[in-house]
Amino acid sequence: MNEPVNLSRRDFMKTAALVGGGLVIGFSFPAGEGGAAGDTLVSGPFLRVGPDGMVTVVVNKSEMGQGVYTSLPMLVAEELECDWRSVRVEPAPVAPAYNHATFGPQQITGGSTSVRTEWERLSRAGAAARRMLVAAAAQAWKVPEAECRAENGVVLGPGGRLSYGELAARAAALPVPKVVPLKRQSEWRLLGRRVPRLDSADKVTGRALFGIDVDAPGMLTVLIARPPVFGAQVKSFDDSAARRVPGVRGVYRVPAGVAVAAEGFHAARKGREALRVEWDEGESGKLSTQRMRGEYAQLARRPGKVARREGDAAGVLAKAAKRIEADYDVPFLAHAPMEPLNCFVDLRKDRCIIRTGTQGQTGDRDAAARLTGLKKEQV
């Protein structure tokens, strides 16, 4: 990855403009010729360098343990040449600028694609910002850029040294470089090395905020009574006892079953336990593990599709002195993390705020807009 990358002003501004103003808390996108507002250097929608030297990387992928809150900032920090300790992560809002680079017009995390598909634009953002910081120092010292170099969060040159924080405002006013060379692999200081994860400290101290930890004044906890089999429907329910449980504020029929809203988890669970629901189990009611195993065993006896043919397995097996046959049976494994699925919703007349752990923000946002009748921008 060592060819210079062309970065026209039009691409730069276009990317920045796509981050709808007002949707991002604390984000000021470029205005005018340079890449900045005020004293913060902004390099597209993914990177800001503040006057305090803090490097904020906006990450458009969901951290699920796979490490993108560390690996994606590493791509930026490598080319930016900043001190790793000055880097912090800001989760991206839902906006087209943050859409998946190859999965169509949606913001989504999956398929082991994050590092691969974000490599180019994150590296570019870091490299562009580095060039602007070097140019700012050269300007301040009135020397050629070639006599300056960026290293670990400072620019060194004939005038001495200036930190990125000291240079941010001046860099912010500079034009975007058209050609931005990326480092040679031999020049990497971070990539390919073990670097402390940015999220570990919060995770071991219990400070890390998971979806289920979100709290707000007056928030209710809702638990749903779900059917014992997939696809079953509520035939009838009696919520008289549930409504009498202290703390229960409402009981509602919902597509998934019957929902109990209460003050706190304990009251919600007691309310749910007090429900009497009659289910229409439908076809799923007739399924059983035994029956499914029987069906699979029958299917297994059918000839399979040939994926690859090498040698003569059938012939060798037929002539073998000893043949071993075995049936292997594995239980159903739910594709589920330790955190129970959950979602925080604050729904008002003209807006809806959702806080949840999700891999598909755009899909969630669009679904919420459909359900509430709000415009997408209001979610």
Partner 1 sequence: MVTFVVNGRTRSLEVDPETPLLWVLRDNLKLTGTKYGCGRSVCGACTVLVDGKAKRSCVTPVGEVAGKQVLTVEGLPQNHPLLQAWLAEEVSQCGYCQPGQIMSAAALLTEKPKPTDSDIDEAMRGTLCRCGTYNRIRKAIHAAAGKGGTP
CA 78, 83, 85: angle at the middle one, nearest 5? 115
Chain position carrying tokens 């910081």: 133
- The reply on whether position 264 binds partner 1 by CB under 8 A is yes
- The reply on whether position 199 binds partner 1 by CB under 8 A is yes
- The reply on whether position 339 binds partner 1 by CB under 8 A is yes
* Residue 178 burial (CB count, 10 A): 14
117 vs 342, beta carbon nearer partner 1: 342
Q: Is residue 261 within 8 Å of 290, Cβ to Cβ?
A: no
- The reply on whether position 197 binds partner 1 by CB under 8 A is yes
- The reply on whether position 266 binds partner 1 by CB under 8 A is yes
Among 26, 206, 218, 315, interactor with partner 1 by CB under 8 A: 206
Cα–Cα distances in Å, from 280 out to 147, 236, 272, 275, 309? 78, 9, 19, 16, 48
Mode of pairing for the β-strands spanning 55-59 and 87-91: parallel
215 vs 329, beta carbon nearer partner 1: 215
Give least dist CB 68 to partner 1, A. 11
- Segment interacting with partner 1, rule: CB under 8 A, options 21-29, 210-218, 249-257, 366-374: 210-218
213 vs 312, beta carbon nearer partner 1: 213
Q: Is residue 262 within 8 Å of 312, Cβ to Cβ?
A: no
# of chain residues touching partner 1 (CB under 8 A):
34
**Residue 40: closest CA among 169, 173, 175:** 169
- The reply on whether position 210 binds partner 1 by CB under 8 A is yes
Give least dist CB 339 to partner 1, A. 5
Within the chain, what is the greatest distance between any pair of CA atoms? 86
214 vs 345, beta carbon nearer partner 1: 214
Determine the Cα–Cα distance for residues 144 and 137; give it in Å rounded to an integer: 10
For partner 1, the binding residues (CB under 8 A) are 63-67, 194, 196-197, 199-210, 212-213, 215, 221, 246, 264-266, 269, 336-340
